[in-house]
Structure 1
């Protein structure tokens, strides 16, 4: 199926670009999406197009139209920068989510998705461990030699990035999938499956630690607290809350584990005096002043990588966003940021409401895992560009689809149970 190819490719195109090169592997994502939509159009009579009549599709269409109109932003950002930025900012979710509603229909699809992201994340973890203890591959070493070492080697230690674009994305993705595995291992599954899921979660937590990405901690924190609340079990809420708060207390107020570099660096995420945090706050203060007279921002592609490439003459290109929230604010202004954040929170609230009403325990724990994963990535994106970057972005978009169709998946499970009872 085309969606599985997209998910697989979102995890692996980075290493293809590093090891093979001389080909725009990133833009091949559009090629796969185009192929998928051409297939859908030419076989249109096989699909129920009424499934696209949902608030999620309308919201993504609305955001895509806002992003299209940004090409005429009076700040005068480069059209080429806009074209590059709109892909991740609005095109991918708008194209992939409707495709998901048309193609993803069964619990078997949900299970394939979970196996796929868990397996690919495990491979990424193992490659990251190999990077740290054996050394980078030739392509990975080239990435470091050509400037990657500035942000990926700190105090002589490698910030592991595995297959991904950078250590920030690797760490956040590892935290995201670790969270999903950890929640699933608490579900009503066979003991051997729960043991494997717990083992996967621990390996990926280690992957998060060796990435040196401190912001990834908040993906775990936010996701765990949301999962505890969605469990609707009073004992779980109390015990889980105590354990989570105790862990945060240990990180914040003790020095336990400081002899381990990864734990020491993770602990600094909770330090309000940490140097890089203060640099970010200073940059945000500068942006606040600059954007106070620009309610619609500086335009797509004016800040970050595409800003440096196509908008060097613009002030915003000289400031590092270091956050997707800040990037949206700089590109779309306070008006656009408010709309974007409102859409993201609406989707999160709708997902929570859907999960709250699911009765089937196995399906429910899967949906809690996907919802908590989305919440973690959304709030982790305050510290890094994550929710707009593969593979996290693609995992989130497909997760939205499964959560929104979960009432239909529950109906399928009920029908199967009734059929089994009738044939017993």
Structure 2
């Protein structure tokens, strides 16, 4: 009885934590059992789904932190149900859930009469510009299909809302470390799934999906099956593994508990194996790029020496002949100019340049690739395979769209680079966190030039989530530096120079204008 009451309290609150509440719960369970016996198992499944889905759905409206954790989890694992034939519109349901959460948060802002902390901080204006520009693409005169716009605009109009919600919710370093650790957990599960695929083969529904979608040429190369984990393809899986390996390999010292460190080391091994067994060359390129960025920004001679040793080891691996397929795959990553697929991409990009010069706002969202073949077959762009996130943005939204898109990264990274001066930060945790994000964005921008990943899950959610966390970290790091600076100068007020006072006041004003939304 006591345990049952605790369960009720946890599920529906103090109001129903009574004997009557327990009676209602037991009565409902018995009713469900009778219905199952009188009808069939489909009724039980439907009722179970309603009992679980409805509380989760309404929690998205009132529990912002839960909603963000939910969206992160779904972004990693949504590839699994998408491979199972079903009539449920999974993609639209996911988008609707994001909108539902956003409206719930707006309602809270209305109740508190506080919109500034959510909607008025510097980088978010560039997010608004990107969302608005993609929304206006519905009127693109060169677009061949409005239906293609509806199906492809959602990652660019709805998913950026996660940036706004995440920035509002995660306000302390402790919260940030917790959610980043959670993301490592779900990424490790995805990596372990990919390792299982390599060692034991695909599950039945995965193989049926490969055959039904004629995807064998993507997952079977040179007599070997590639792992794709819970994502949509080996390429996306490999890029995810590469990004997360870099990201969390640097963050191990930030987590203080021994159990966390042990888990992170085990997780990194699994993620690295997932990267290798994906056979994704872009994923292999991410690792050295990320580490080079971190070493370059560290500002320490010893780190530069370690970096030089690692570069020497990497160079040895690249130039040394080997019969191992996986090593050969890694070596081919750094010899892309000799690769036929790379040459074909360059030829495609050269062919499209004259057309781009005459279409400054592009050919419309969904005009290229799979969506182009589905909604506007026979057009010039429907046969164009961008094979690059930047090229796709440029073709579908024009040079104007590419400028709007890249301006967000500029607004995010340039102030952080010039104002934070990460190489001189006193707090080692903030230094490691921010260095990791610089490496993440540097590697992401490079790999997006070679792979079309921005509008595809989990990257279309993860990008906005990590961007919001980065913005919050910048604010926290600046605030911590100001606090240290004030404490230091409080101890020597007598020798405090007027020039330093003006400098401090100027930096305080900058912080308030750029990052302080409260």
Q: Which residue of 2 aligns with 1:401?
A: 468
TM-superposed CA distance for 1:60, in Å, is: 0.8
Residue 243 of structure 2 corresponds to residue 179 of structure 1? no
Residue 368 of structure 2 corresponds to residue 303 of structure 1? yes
Q: 2:265 aligns with which of 198, 201, 224?
A: 198
Residue 446 of structure 2 corresponds to residue 379 of structure 1? yes
Change (3 A) 1:192 1:237: farther
Residue 156 of structure 2 corresponds to residue 108 of structure 1? no
- Once residues 466 and 143 of structure 2 are traced to their aligned partners in structure 1, the CA distance between those partners, rounded to angstroms, is 36
Q: Which residue of 2 aligns with 1:265?
A: 329
Q: Which residue of 2 aligns with 1:157?
A: 224
Change (3 A) 1:294 1:216: same
Q: Contact 2:220 / 2:226 at 8 angstroms: preserved in 1?
A: yes
Residue 279 of structure 2 corresponds to residue 212 of structure 1? yes
Q: Contact 2:412 / 2:471 at 8 angstroms: preserved in 1?
A: no
Greater mean alpha carbon deviation, residues 262-271 or residues 4-13: 262-271
- Once residues 237 and 47 of structure 1 are traced to their aligned partners in structure 2, the CA distance between those partners, rounded to angstroms, is 51
- Once residues 444 and 459 of structure 2 are traced to their aligned partners in structure 1, the CA distance between those partners, rounded to angstroms, is 8
Residue 234 of structure 2 corresponds to residue 234 of structure 1? no
Matched residue pairs, number? 411
For 1:16-27, list aligned pairs within 5 A.
16-19=81-84, 21-27=86-92
Q: Which residue of 2 aligns with 1:42?
A: 107
Q: Which residue of 2 aligns with 1:169?
A: 236
Q: 1:65 aligns with which of 107, 122, 132?
A: 132
Q: 2:120 aligns with which of 42, 45, 53?
A: 53
Change (3 A) 1:350 1:314: farther
Greater mean alpha carbon deviation, residues 194-203 or residues 70-79: 194-203
Work out which structure has the larger RCO, using CA pairs closer than 8 Å and 6 or more positions apart in sequence: 1
Q: Contact 1:283 / 1:319 at 8 angstroms: preserved in 2?
A: yes
1:43 counterpart SS class: helix
Compare CA radii of gyration and give the structure with the larger one: 2
Change (3 A) 1:247 1:54: farther
Q: Contact 2:194 / 2:229 at 8 angstroms: preserved in 1?
A: yes
Q: Deviations over 1:355-378 (max 9, x none)?
A: 727532123312322332232222
Q: Which residue of 1 aligns with 2:195?
A: 129
Change (3 A) 1:195 1:286: same
Give the TM-score taking structure 2 as reference length. 0.74
Q: Contact 1:8 / 1:116 at 8 angstroms: preserved in 2?
A: no
TM-superposed CA distance for 1:13, in Å, is: 1.0
Give the TM-score taking structure 1 as reference length. 0.89
Q: Which residue of 2 aligns with 1:96?
A: 162
- Once residues 164 and 318 of structure 1 are traced to their aligned partners in structure 2, the CA distance between those partners, rounded to angstroms, is 25
TM-superposed CA distance for 1:215, in Å, is: 1.0
Change (3 A) 1:244 1:295: farther
TM-superposed CA distance for 1:149, in Å, is: 1.0
Q: Contact 1:377 / 1:387 at 8 angstroms: preserved in 2?
A: no
Q: Deviations over 1:375-420 (max 9, x none)?
A: 22222111112233221232221121122112554558999xxxxx
Q: Structure 1: 5+ residue runs without aligned partners?
A: 416-424
- Once residues 394 and 35 of structure 1 are traced to their aligned partners in structure 2, the CA distance between those partners, rounded to angstroms, is 16
Q: Contact 2:83 / 2:209 at 8 angstroms: preserved in 1?
A: yes
Q: Deviations over 1:200-256 (max 9, x none)?
A: 22321221111111011232232212222332323213422x13422442244222x
- Once residues 249 and 410 of structure 2 are traced to their aligned partners in structure 1, the CA distance between those partners, rounded to angstroms, is 24
Q: CA RMSD in A?
A: 2.4
Q: Which residue of 2 aligns with 1:117?
A: 183
Q: Which residue of 1 aligns with 2:208?
A: 142
- Once residues 349 and 198 of structure 1 are traced to their aligned partners in structure 2, the CA distance between those partners, rounded to angstroms, is 32
